[in-house]
Amino acid sequence: MNKDINMKVNVLPVLTYNFLHVNDSTLNAGDITIDSLSTPVESVISDEIEVKRDVTFEEAGEIFRANKEKILKTTGVPGIPNGDMSYRDEKQALRTGMGIDIDELMIATNVKAVVYTVPENVKTDKPIVIRYDLANGQGSLSSQVVHARKNSEVTVIMEYSSEKDATGFHGVSTRLLAEEGARITLVKVQLLGNGFVHFDDIGGACFEKGQIDLVSLELGAKKSWTGCYTNLVEKESVFNSNMGYLCRDDHSLDINYVSDHRGKKTEALMQFKGVLMDNASKTFRGTIDFKNGSSGSVGDEQEDALLLSEDVVNKTMPVILCQEEDVDGRHGATIGQLGEDILFYMQTRGIDEEEAKRIIIKARLESVARMIPDPEIMQKVLYYIQGIV
Amino acid sequence: MSDNKQVVADIDHSMYDFKDVENERDFYRLQEGLTEETVLKVSEEKNDPEWMRDFRLKCLKLYNDIKIPDWGPSIEGLDMDKISSYVRHKSDMKGSWEEVPEDIKNTFERLGIPQAERESLAGVGAQYDSELVYHNVKDEVAAQGVIYTDLESALRSEYADMIKEHFMKLVPPTDHKFAALHGAVWSGGSFVYVPKGVKVEIPLQSYFRLNAAGAGQFEHTLIIVDEGADLHFIEGCSAPKYNVANLHAGCVELFVGKNARLRYSTIENWSKNMYNLNTKRAIVEENGRMEWVSGSFGSHTSYLYPMTILKGDNSQMEFTGITFAGKGQNLDTGAKVVHQGKHTSSVISTKSISKDGGIGTYRSSVVIQKSAKKAKASVSCDSLMLDSISRADTIPGMDIRTNDADVGHEAKIGRISDEAVFYLMSRGISEEDAKAMIVSGFANPVSKELPLEYAVEMNNLIKLEMSGNM
């Protein structure tokens, strides 16, 4: 890897004041060491699901390229917001949260993707579980495409873990297509060691009544980036996202989520709950983009960040872009330390401040962890949370 | 319920859109373009002290070095080679209304300024193009020791050192390209000093009129409210519409002392050929309070984000703003606050209305520094979309560097709610009236913060006529 080339990732869809340093993030090439392509352990996959392996990154993106016109179609008049950056990633087969530099990294390093295709009307009960157990010092990349054809349903759970103090690098690109009436549930659990550098880049597109549900937990790694761009292409498509994160020590987390509403009566609900401790820093960018033609759509984005040390840095950019009259968009953010009333309540029940904080952190993260539809992984996450709090 | 849509009328600018022809005999106009020569010419016209002339040249260099912001509305239509930085009437500033030249007097009479002065103001300053043409302060206010004068006179008075100490210290010319431009060619504007403990009971007002076509207005407002003092300052702006671009790059620096309070209200109604690239900033000492009331209705393009630095412990800031972006307008407005002191608090509350293809962008930043223990910040921004060819974007930023702070943020975007219309109609109000009432109610949090006369003006300005079916 050329150490002189840094990647610009998680670019905010519209730029704002440069002094805030939130317009993008830099993934330092010096942090990227790639000695292998990841070979995860997969659960037994239902015979009904078609699995293609060793597909080049570009080939895996063909399904999006073939549908690109449909994905980017705007029924109304295209409009340009101030500071627009949408042109930057327009060459991507499917726009993702972290952007085109990740695609270029995947292509340059010849990453082979796995393509999971769920045939029409197939509703699988058993989730596809993909586990990455990464060794100390390991550097790897991986990519997946999940294609749910009409009226199908599939759940994919991805877990990244390593020894507690392991170092290394791991990058993932996951692209999703939920066709008419299809539903994809994607669960991402990041439990990497304290020395890991990690990125998780997600892109999704939903056709009519298609739905993507995303549950993600960012609990480990020294430096972590995560981005998700969901195209709600056609009417009544839905994106639900729940993220829980914990940043401690000198760890950093950089987030960029976008719901791009083009179809009528589309819905996006994004919730972010997290805790910052020690010297940790976190940047959150969340954008609801109502394009002209997305009438009747609803977008709601809520962030709740608990700050538990006076040395943390928390940056929040909740953006709403709107070029449609008949929409309902809202965002809310609550940022601060543990409320005195909660502490007081706990103390009246004989719980001291430290214990109260532990209870609140656990409750916050567990509320997201309990959405994991695999009991074994959910239990592992709960233990992990218990171990660090 | 009927699907027929109500028409919300665009703001009526006609009462501000009268032109007074400026002839060469009465007006001096500096050649268009921005060069060292033109900057020196402005300096010479102003009879600047040496430090100010050097400062202007330094600013010109900065202006040429600093890039145009990459995040805001396009300012491609603004060509500095076609803008005259300095236009003035050949008569001097007057202290009596009768002595003001007839043509200028007519302009301000039509805008109702003398009437307002008589009825509700403690003092008035009126700027026409690049220079103040009239300045007056009521005797009883002057007797309290309040200084309200044009900045140029103040520069040559006993307050010269005070001005040198404060001028462009809060908004340094390095801040951005148009702050540097302002530093190079500033002209006109007011200086206000309210001594310790003095409370000015009724407001002071400056009115800025840019009458010349293809010109820039670069007034500088410097207000110092000393310890325990209290002031309400009102700023009004308007211009007739021309087919060429005009530029307003003013600068407002406000110093709010310990236990002092300053309210700064603005009704901005520049014409739709105006590039309004204005910078406003306040610094607040211990227990001080800064209140902004801001109505942005005019301009072709606006970059306007009044900023407050809450330096002293327990200092407070409240920003209440409304922006109405109509046809052909791209108004990028909002507020910025930096919490430095302990127990500081800020409340930002904005309303934005977009219609007829207008682009309204709310942009803000809340920075809570590590020293700002127990700081509280609350941001609330509501946008109302009146059709689907307009834009309403909300781009708020928060940078929080202490856990011992409480930050809340909420934003809503939507249209006139059918339920609210239905509720009002069920109480016997017609659909037209119901919708008009809802839109007026949406703007109400801002108008109720203004003195009655100005609230009426604002409501006239909005003229939210609900006229028939489309």
Chain B residues whose beta carbon lies within 8 Å of the beta carbon of residue A334: 407-409
Who contacts A190 (Cβ-Cβ below 8 Å, separation ≥6)? A160, A198, A200, A216, A217, A218, A219, A220, A221, A224
From the list A327, A269, A259, A257, the residue with the least C-alpha distance to A293 is A327
Give residue B335's identity as a one-letter amino acid code: A
Residue B469 has pLDDT above 80, yes or no: no
- Check residue B458 and give its pLDDT: 67
Interval B179-235: pLDDT, tens: 999 999 999 889 999 999 999 988 888 887 777 778 888 999 999 999 999 999 998
Residues 346-365 of B with CB under 8 A from A: 359, 361, 363, 365
Residues 221-240 of A with CB under 8 A from B: none
> How many residues are given for chain B?
470
Mean pLDDT is lowest, of A70-84, A193-207, B206-220, B349-363, for B206-220
Residue B6 pLDDT level (bands cut at 50, 70, 90): very low
Domain ranges of chain B: 14-304, 418-470
C-beta separation of B279 from B252 below 8 A: yes
Residue B7 has pLDDT above 90, yes or no: no
Interval A360-386: pLDDT, tens: 899 999 999 999 999 999 999 999 998
User: ipTM value of the model?
Assistant: 0.93
Mean pLDDT is lowest, of A227-236, B241-250, B256-265, B448-457, for B448-457
Phi and psi angles of residue B466, each rounded to the nearest 5 degrees, phi first = -100, 95
Residues 20-59 of A with CB under 8 A from B: 20, 22-23
C-beta separation of B237 from B263 below 8 A: no
Instruction: Over range A282-294, report the average pLDDT.
Output: 96
Instruction: Over range A51-75, report the average pLDDT.
Output: 94
Residue B323 has pLDDT above 80, yes or no: yes
- Give me the percent of chain B exceeding a pLDDT of 70: 85
Residue A220 has pLDDT above 50, yes or no: yes
Mean pLDDT is lowest, of A226-240, A254-268, B75-89, B385-399, for B75-89
Chain B residues whose beta carbon lies within 8 Å of the beta carbon of residue A292: 388-389
Of these ranges, B128-137, B252-261, B423-432, the one predicted with the greatest mean pLDDT is B252-261
Residue B129 pLDDT level (bands cut at 50, 70, 90): confident
- Choose the closest CB to A322 out of B330, B332, B383: B383
Chain B residues whose beta carbon lies within 8 Å of the beta carbon of residue A295: 388
Please give the Cα distance from B51 to A128 (Å, whole number).
73
Mean pLDDT is lowest, of A316-320, B22-26, B227-231, B348-352, for B22-26
C-beta separation of B148 from B5 below 8 A: no
Q: Would the CB atoms of B405 and A335 count as touching at under 8 Å?
A: yes
Interval B8-67: pLDDT, tens: 555 555 556 666 555 656 677 777 878 999 999 999 988 899 999 999 999 999 999 999
Residue of B nearest to A328 (CA): B414
- B412 inside 8 A of chain A by CB: yes
- Choose the closest CB to A82 out of B71, B387, B388: B71
Mean pLDDT is lowest, of A64-78, A180-194, B99-113, B411-425, for B99-113
Residue B456 has pLDDT above 50, yes or no: yes
- Choose the closest CB to A322 out of B397, B401, B413: B413
> Is B399 in a helix, a strand, or coil?
strand
Give me chain B's average pLDDT, please: 85
From the list B137, B397, B173, B414, the residue with the least C-alpha distance to A299 is B414
Interval A95-135: pLDDT, tens: 999 999 999 999 999 999 999 999 999 999 899 999 999 99
Give me chain A's average pLDDT, please: 93
Interval A156-194: pLDDT, tens: 999 999 999 999 999 999 999 999 999 999 999 999 999
- A17 inside 8 A of chain B by CB: yes
Interval A143-152: pLDDT, tens: 999 999 999 9
Residue B438 pLDDT level (bands cut at 50, 70, 90): confident
- Check residue B443 and give its pLDDT: 80
Q: Would the CB atoms of B409 and A333 count as touching at under 8 Å?
A: yes
C-beta separation of B412 from A322 below 8 A: no
- Check residue A38 and give its pLDDT: 61
Residue A216 pLDDT level (bands cut at 50, 70, 90): very high
Q: Would the CB atoms of B397 and A315 count as touching at under 8 Å?
A: yes
C-beta atoms surrounding B44 within 10 Å: 10
Instruction: Over range A220-249, report the average pLDDT.
Output: 97
User: A50-55, long-range: CB within 8 Å, 24+ apart, which pairs?
Assistant: A50/A116, A50/A117, A50/A118, A50/A119, A51/A114, A51/A115, A51/A116, A51/A117, A52/A114, A52/A115, A52/A117, A53/A112, A53/A114, A54/A112, A55/A112, A55/A113, A55/A114, A55/A115, A55/A145
From the list B224, B233, B249, the residue with the least C-alpha distance to B59 is B249
- B390 inside 8 A of chain A by CB: yes
